[in-house]
Amino acid sequence: MKTSITLPSPAKLNLFLHIVGRRPDGYHELQTLFQFLDYGDDLTFTLTPDQPGVRLTESLPGVAEEDNLIIRAANALIDQARHPLPGVTISIDKRLPMGGGLGGGSSNAATTLVGLNHLWELNLSADALADIGLGLGADVPVFVRGHAAFGEGVGEQLTPANPPEDWFVVLKPDCSINTGKIFSEEGLTRDTPRIKIAPAFEGDASRYRNDCEDVVRKLYPEVKESLDWLTQFGPARLTGTGACIFGRFPTESAARIIWESKPSGITGFVARGVNISPLHEKLTELN
């Protein structure tokens, strides 16, 4: 049995995000296209056979240990196990802004489920891990499955997709946006007609929009300014409910030229869109 592994916990983009209805429990029904980025956090899992339980080497600002999705994911696996498991220490190399629409917390949860399933040799199927993940957040299943996908329902009904693996400039306007607040806004578009896309969608996602964008532009002038700036160079969109936005470019050098000219004071990064999650690429190497 291996005792330590470091695994990627990548970001996702919602290349488009349509709100097509609302469930009786108030959750919004979406149609969205998820793609991963070759950029994200790293998590290191070290087994501690002499010390039972799960612990983090550092806490995240503003997140109590028991609320941390890494701890919640590990405990969800322990609850399912039929025999005692060795303890584990988990360290986080955090690069993704929290609450940015890049799915950082959900991705951390998925990397924990997939990583500990491997390290603890639990042999749970992807279906079982995605089910456990859905209990932690709507974006966790796509990270567990590890393939770019058209998502429906709350994002858990996934059809694998193959959008072009373009380069992105991702900008983080200087504000933080609460997902619940955006979904409760009165002016939010909630009736976009459902679309049908070809199985394994390979087309241009920028034909479609993010339905949260109008509300977010009105409430957060920082996001509006960044979107207006990035749109000069090509299609730019909000991911999730923001605050991050992205612009799409055919090559790394084209993306870097725009990145270098960004207004001062704005943070972000350049990354490539990938249809196989870096987490799954790494696991294939390990197996």
Ligand X SMILES: Nc1ncnc2c1ncn2[C@@H]1O[C@H](COP(=O)(O)OP(=O)(O)OP(=O)(O)O)[C@@H](O)[C@H]1O
Ligand Y SMILES: C[C@](O)(CO)[C@H](O)COP(=O)(O)OP(=O)(O)OC[C@H]1O[C@@H](n2ccc(N)nc2=O)[C@H](O)[C@@H]1O
Which residues of this chain interact with ligand X, rule CB under 6 A? 60, 63, 67-70, 98-106, 108, 139, 179, 240
Catalytic annotation present for 139: yes
Total Cβ atoms within 10 A of residue 156: 18
Q: Which does 60 bind (CB under 5 to 8 A by kind): ligand X, ligand Y, none?
A: ligand X
Which residue, 170, 172, 162, 173, is CA-closest to 249?
170
Q: Is 26 annotated as a binding residue?
A: no
Q: Closest separation between CB of residue 231 and ligand X, Å?
A: 21
Q: Which does 183 bind (CB under 5 to 8 A by kind): ligand Y, ligand X, none?
A: ligand Y
CA distance 16 to 106: 18
Please report which residue ranges of the chain form alpha helices under DSSP H.
69-80, 104-119, 126-134, 140-145, 179-183, 213-219, 221-231, 252-260, 278-286
CA distance 129 to 140: 9
Please, are residues 58 and 22 in contact by the beta-carbon 8 Å criterion? no
- Residue of this chain nearest to ligand X (CB atom): 105
Q: Is 91 annotated as a binding residue?
A: no
Catalytic annotation present for 42: no
Q: Closest separation between CB of residue 79 and ligand Y, Å?
A: 20
Q: Is 273 annotated as a binding residue?
A: no
Q: Closest separation between CB of residue 72 and ligand X, Å?
A: 8
Please, are residues 116 and 45 in contact by the beta-carbon 8 Å criterion? yes
In the three-class reduction of DSSP (H, G, I as helix; E, B as strand; rest coil), residue 210 is classed as strand
Q: Which is nearer to ligand Y, 17 or 70 (CB)?
A: 17
Please, are residues 68 and 59 in contact by the beta-carbon 8 Å criterion? yes
Q: Which does 115 bind (CB under 5 to 8 A by kind): ligand X, ligand Y, none?
A: none
Q: Catalytic residue among 139, 166, 211, 282, which?
A: 139
Q: Which does 233 bind (CB under 5 to 8 A by kind): ligand X, ligand Y, none?
A: none
Query: What is the bridge-based pairing of β-strands 87-93 and 54-56?
Result: parallel
Q: Closest separation between CB of residue 48 and ligand X, Å?
A: 20
Binding site for ligand Y (CB under 6 A): 14, 17, 26-28, 30, 32, 103, 106, 137-139, 154-155, 179-180, 183, 240-241
Give binding residues for ATP as ranges: 97-107
Catalytic residues: 12, 139
